[in-house]
Amino acid sequence: MWKSKLRLLALVLIIMTMGLVGCGSKKDDESVAGAETTSTENDEIAAELEELDGELEELAEEEDQIKEVEKLLDEDGELKEDLTKEEKDLVKEVLGVKSVEEVKGKDVKKAVTAVKKEVKKAKETVKQTKKEVQKRAGTPTSTAKKSESTSKGTSNTNKDSNKGNSTNKENSSNKENSTNKGKGTNNTNSGSNKGDSGSSNTNSGSSNTGNSNSGNSTSKPTPAPTPKPEPKVEWKTETTKTESIAFGTDKKNDSNLEKGKEKVEREGRNGSKVTKCEVKYVDGKKTSETKNCTTSTTAATNKVVLVGTKEPAPVVNVGAMEQEIFRLINAERAKVGSPPLKWSGTIGSNARNHANYLTDNGITRGMHVGPYSGKYGEVAYTGGTGAGWVVATWMNSPGHKPFLLSPEFTHIGVGVSKTGEHAIAQFGE
């Protein structure tokens, strides 16, 4: 827009130059037309000044738009993310692009600076043009100068041809010229008083000069002020404030978790408090005025932590407990005349692995008798507090005792879990 204005200003300068250059001396009968031309020139000057004032206002608005675009740049001189539609339209207008995507990721600051310099240069040109027009409005009009030149030329001619006229005739002629001062008829009087002396013609020329200046002063119109357009007011709903609500921590006792240990059952999540208002925009510019504000709250989700209450299992000498169970079972067999069982490392390893599996997976078997098929049998117990207590419990159980005393078995393996809470005796040949 401002580039087309520069071309208009160049045309105005050319017209001014043509107006300032005089057209030379003209005949006396053109003086009336010259006065009408002066009035027209004054009207044109007033129109030019009004147009130039409008140009300055538009350039000032463009400078304001450039400042708004500069606020949309980040530290690297690139456009910020998440621009509003109005902000994108402003960028396109200032940089003269069809889409913001054309300049995305580029050094927009350099382009904005170049536009800023050109607008500044245009503004200086308009100001200079305005000064020239104001200067032209304050000087005597070309019509007055032509009138004065014509009057002086007539005076010289009359002086050479009427040297013999008397002093009385000069006074009479001067009186007539004085009477016609300011009425635009001095040139006619000069022509009719051919017998006047040089001093008479000089007075006539002075009278003409005064008449032209007086006419120029009264014809200058005062430019009417340019009415300002009504501002465009818009209200847009926007998020004006966001507050974070921190989550808390809830703790719960867990009997399956050993004392001194904690376990996160659920992670926490912060809540939020969001305020939205209608924000006032004037001519596309955001103001601090708001109305109709609303607040919405999203509650925080507390973190849940499990706290162990289970007493830790006592430290058990697994190997010693397994051998003690083996010894006590053979002692019970001796009481009924059954031959002693022999220890089997293979059977014992299998029994221990099974006991640890039950512990690791939290399986409670209680009193258990395994399947009896051929020459294989198994007894198990959960919750024992020692080898003697386990064997005594098996001997008091009608389902377990036959396995311990059967003469059909020749080998045994005993497995105790690492915590001592599971004991398994397996029998075979």
> pLDDT tens per residue, the chain (429 residues)?
555 555 555 555 555 555 444 444 444 445 545 555 567 878 888 888 888 898 888 889 888 999 898 888 887 788 887 889 888 888 888 888 888 788 777 778 888 888 889 889 998 998 999 888 888 877 544 443 444 444 444 434 344 434 434 333 433 333 333 333 333 333 333 333 333 433 333 333 333 433 434 444 456 677 778 888 889 999 999 999 999 999 999 999 998 888 889 999 999 999 999 999 999 999 899 999 999 999 999 999 999 999 999 877 667 788 999 999 999 999 999 999 999 999 999 999 998 998 898 888 887 665 555 544 445 667 776 666 788 988 998 899 888 888 889 888 899 999 998 888 888 888 887
* SS3 call for 263: strand
Pull the structure tokens for residue 172. Answer: 């009479």
Q: What local confidence, expressed as pLDDT, does residue 146 receive?
A: 41
| Nearest CA-CA partner of 269 in 251, 285, 252, 247 | 247
Strand residues in 128-248 grouped as ranges (E)? 233-245
Cβ atoms 13, 48 nearer than 8 A: no
Cβ atoms 386, 353 nearer than 8 A: no
Cβ atoms 224, 160 nearer than 8 A: no
Q: What local confidence, expressed as pLDDT, does residue 14 receive?
A: 54
CB atoms within 10 A of CB 360: 11
Q: What local confidence, expressed as pLDDT, does residue 314 receive?
A: 64
239 phi, psi to nearest 5 deg? -80, 115
164 CA to centre of own chain: 93
Exposure class string for 19-51: b at 16+ Cβ within 10 A, else e: eeeeeeebebebbeebbebbbebbeebbebbeb
**Distance between CA atoms of residues 215 and 38, nearest Å:** 9
Pull the structure tokens for residue 221. Answer: 């119109």
Q: What local confidence, expressed as pLDDT, does residue 235 receive?
A: 94
Q: What local confidence, expressed as pLDDT, does residue 254 receive?
A: 93
Q: What local confidence, expressed as pLDDT, does residue 4 receive?
A: 53
How many CA atoms does the CB half-sphere of 171 hold within 13 Å?
A: 3
Q: What local confidence, expressed as pLDDT, does residue 162 receive?
A: 40
Q: 352 vs 70, 293, 380, CA distance in Å? A: 77, 71, 11
50 phi, psi to nearest 5 deg? -65, -40
Q: What local confidence, expressed as pLDDT, does residue 41 receive?
A: 77
Q: Which residue has the tokens 């005062």?
A: 222
- Give the containing element (helix H, strand E) for 255: strand 249-258
